[in-house]
Structure 1
Amino acid sequence: MKPTKKKRLALDLLRAQPAERPDPADRPHPANIFVDVIERVKPIIVAIETDRERQLPFGPFGPFFLPFFLPEDDGPPLGRSFGSGFIIHPRGYILTNQHIIDRAGEIRVRQGAFVRPARLVWQDVRRDLAVLKVSAPRPLPAAVLGSSDAARVGEWVIAIGNPLGLENTVTVGVISAKHRSVRTGQHDYDDVIQTDAAINPGNSGGPLFNLYGQVIGMNAAIVRGSQSIGFAIAIDSIKPRIAAYLPR
């Protein structure tokens, strides 16, 4: 009995199918615009751990603004705090927030399985900036600093850091606003980028990237009790103050 026309068509379609489906890795999904950027920049990001004397978690502004690292619970006189940072010079200079290393007795920089002691070489308390130094046997990969002035509201951004001690946590969002001014008990943030990329305790000091993998800001503060309102210090306001620690 000869196959019907419908059966012949089905057989022809089966013969036309490849023996195996193509590997998705050979054809990356066109919407995965963040993956390559993240893989490229991860080596410049570090987690920062400090053993320090605890202090009151809120400044005179109460709980409205909360620097990410501050503990919210009572505890013993000494506590371990977590933060983030990123390498700005191959010789081991790292940029972070000053509040992360404030009153720290010991500072450690973690990158995967590697843990190195770090020392403070410069800080600006009012602007919440600090530069650390670690020793390394070979030059380290360093961040490419972009232009926060050139960034536009609505542009995609990527935040990577160490929230709650979870290294290399990635979140994405957009620039919600630019040139905000934020005041906390100790710090004045004169030029910050507002973003809805999720930022949590421990992200402080970590980089905010554009889709070219350039750092356009450093995550610094959140509005306590809000949803999707975070602030990053604009990198163009930081560059003149850390010029001595950048490659020449």
Structure 2
Amino acid sequence: MRRKPVYSTRFRSKTAACNHPGNYFVPIVEKAKHSVISIETKDKATNRQSEFLFSFLLPNSDQNTSATRSFGTGFITHPNGYILTSEHVVSQAKEIMVKLYSGEQRTAKIVWSDPKRDLAVLQIPTRRPLPPLPIGSSEESKVGEFVISVGNPMGLEHSVTKGIISAKNRPVRISSKLYEDIIQTDCAINPGNSGGPLINLNGEVVGMNAFIIKNNQGLGFAVGIDSIKQRVGKFLGK
């Protein structure tokens, strides 16, 4: 006689666990992922960062200056193919390749940059409008608020982490770069996350991930989006 399984189908959930109302990050990520892009660069012979900046961005690194391939993140800000990222991600690149969530790869060009504030705008050719991420306000965000980071750490595309805003409005100077309106977060941010979005629970960008401090857990820093909007307004979708 065949024994019945110890479980019964009447105990199985009729809906996927991801649809549980407590999983409020899922719909935000599902929408945002189509606007976050992965960046891979072929760099010039010398490393694209000063030794001091390198030590902040790449913990546990041997500071090998002969590396010719680097990873970063960006996000679409305009349907015409404009992408915001960190300037240090592309500053010494000979070639910039971006990969969309669909898997399509494009060669990007730098159309605007501000090395001092570590900001850059790329553009890729596109035959159809691309989906920009909604832009929120870093000024209106609050300490203790939930945020999500989406990026390309160590080349691992579209990795998602979550945390809270730990502090705001902290100016930081690293080498020749001035970071204004810094948001401190405990989202896991790793090398390759630079240039990726920090997103609130409305699915809006409130910051752009910038750097971490070497050998410190839970200390990530993003540039507040309000200070960025002042400089890249013409590259933002309406």
| Structures share fold, TM-score greater than 0.5 | yes
Q: Is the 8 A contact 1:90 1:142 kept in 2?
A: yes
Residue 209 of structure 1: aligned partner: 199
Residue 91 of structure 1: aligned partner: 80
The match for 1:55 among 47, 59, 79 is: 47
The match for 1:226 among 192, 216, 233 is: 216
Residue 141 of structure 1: aligned partner: 131
* Residue-by-residue CA offset, 1:101-150 (whole Å, 9 max, x unaligned): 01111011112421100000000000000000001110000011001000
CA distance in structure 2 between the aligned counterparts of 1:69 and 1:181, rounded to whole angstroms: 21
Aligned positions of 1:40-189 closer than 5 A: 40-53=31-44, 54-55=46-47, 58-60=50-52, 63=55, 66-67=56-57, 72-74=62-64, 76=66, 79-112=68-101, 113-189=103-179
* Residue-by-residue CA offset, 1:146-169 (whole Å, 9 max, x unaligned): 010000000000000000000000
CA distance in structure 1 between the aligned counterparts of 2:118 and 2:53, rounded to whole angstroms: 17
* Residue-by-residue CA offset, 1:171-213 (whole Å, 9 max, x unaligned): 0000000001111112100211000000000000000000000
Q: Is the 8 A contact 2:48 2:88 kept in 1?
A: no
TM-score (norm 1): 0.86
- Of the structure 1 ranges 45-54 and 169-178, higher mean CA displacement relative to structure 2 is found in 45-54
Give the CA deviation at 1:246: 1.5
TM-score (norm 2): 0.89
**CA, structure 1 residues 125+29, in 2 after alignment: closer, same or farther (shift >3 Å)?**
same
Q: Identity percentage over the alignment?
A: 47
Q: Give yes or no for the alignment of 1:236 onto 2:216.
A: no
- Give ranges in structure 2 of 5+ residues lacking alignment: 1-7
Q: Is the 8 A contact 2:48 2:92 kept in 1?
A: no
Q: Is the 8 A contact 2:195 2:210 kept in 1?
A: yes
Give the CA deviation at 1:21: 3.3
CA distance in structure 2 between the aligned counterparts of 1:115 and 1:37, rounded to whole angstroms: 24
Residue 8 of structure 1: aligned partner: none
**CA, structure 1 residues 177+25, in 2 after alignment: closer, same or farther (shift >3 Å)?**
same
| SS of residue matched to 1:213 | coil
Residue 3 of structure 2: aligned partner: none
Q: Is the 8 A contact 1:194 1:232 kept in 2?
A: yes
Q: Is the 8 A contact 1:182 1:188 kept in 2?
A: yes
CA distance in structure 1 between the aligned counterparts of 2:92 and 2:130, rounded to whole angstroms: 27
**CA, structure 1 residues 150+168, in 2 after alignment: closer, same or farther (shift >3 Å)?**
same
CA distance in structure 2 between the aligned counterparts of 1:242 and 1:70, rounded to whole angstroms: 33
CA distance in structure 2 between the aligned counterparts of 1:191 and 1:184, rounded to whole angstroms: 14
- Of the structure 1 ranges 223-232 and 22-31, higher mean CA displacement relative to structure 2 is found in 22-31
**CA, structure 1 residues 177+27, in 2 after alignment: closer, same or farther (shift >3 Å)?**
closer
| SS of residue matched to 1:179 | coil
